[in-house]
Amino acid sequence: MELLHSKIIGEGKPLLILHGFLGMSDNWKTLGSQYSKNDFQVHLIDQRNHGKSFHSDDFDYEYLSSDVLHYINHYQIDGAHLIGHSMGGKTAMQLATTNPNRVQKLIVADISPKYYPPHHQPIIDALKKLDFDTISSRKEADEALSVYLPDFGIRQFLLKNLHWVSPGKLGLRFNFNILKDKMDEIGENIDATATFDGPTLFLRGDRSEYIMPNDYSEIHKHFPNALIESIDNAGHWLHAENPKQFLEKTLNFLNS
């Protein structure tokens, strides 16, 4: 079984951070550094088909959580703290409910256990338009995306995945051909009977619609000891939009 790529910083209690769909571990570099200064050994992980981790045709939350379990076993981590954002939050939920003895505390950022209909199609359609036979710079890639994606922040998030595949040839780190075909898997709910009784914190952006008040009962059904709190002035990328409050709330929970 292949091992997920990661960057490990700091010493102390193991804290594994899982990025969202089309993201990568580098999205969490700044916050990861802050956690490492607070007595945590931070593992910034690229999930399969993302970042520098391996590509595979197999892609669902059972595979994603098995990857993280293999990673925990490889590094002989007795009990990990987990932070997962969006897709990474679903991976973290899957791992915590199937292997509760391997998870100490769980933090889920702006995603609930429910099913989400596919909603990334505009991004997928825009990425399909990138022609790396003619695009030779980040600026040109941004201009090509801007025709379809006017939001500057979303474009910058996606363009973090640009890299030189070979001299003079740009490409995307994530496995686009597989991910565009696995949109249904990204939105899947966790199993109806899955539960994790350990300490859990759900954080929602107060401007996000991913976790709404009518989702709270579903969250507590699966995670009976869950706290649900909001991050002010933040949407779905709450850790990037209000990192100070995100850090404060997560550290208070982890150290409680």
Domain 6-116+188-254 annotated CATH 2.60.220.10: no
Q: Give dist(CA 153, CA 192) in Å, integer.
A: 35
Give the pLDDT confidence score for residue 132 in this predicted structure.
94
Task: List Cβ neighbours of 213 (8 Å cut-off, separation of 6 or more).
Answer: none
Give the pLDDT confidence score for residue 18 in this predicted structure.
98
Per-residue pLDDT of the chain (256 residues; tens, 9 = 90+): 899 999 999 999 999 999 999 999 999 999 999 999 999 999 999 999 999 999 999 999 999 999 999 999 999 999 999 999 999 999 999 999 999 999 999 999 999 999 999 888 999 999 999 999 999 999 999 999 999 999 998 999 999 999 999 988 999 999 999 999 998 899 999 999 999 999 999 999 999 999 999 999 999 999 999 999 999 999 999 999 999 999 999 999 999 9
The closest alpha carbon to 112, from 24, 18, 203, 25, belongs to 203
Q: Treating both helix axes as pointing N-terminal to C-terminal, what angle do 138-146 and 152-159 enclose, rounded to 10 degrees?
A: 140
Give the pLDDT confidence score for residue 118 in this predicted structure.
86
- Can you give the residue ranges of every domain in the chain? 6-116+188-254, 121-179
Report percent pLDDT > 70 for the chain. Answer: 100
Q: How far is CA 157 from the centre of its chain?
A: 13
Give the pLDDT confidence score for residue 168 in this predicted structure.
85
pLDDT tens-digit map of 27-81:
999 999 999 999 999 999 999 999 999 999 999 999 999 999 999 999 999 999 9
Give the pLDDT confidence score for residue 93 in this predicted structure.
98
Give the pLDDT confidence score for residue 230 in this predicted structure.
98
Cβ count within 10 A of residue 158 = 21
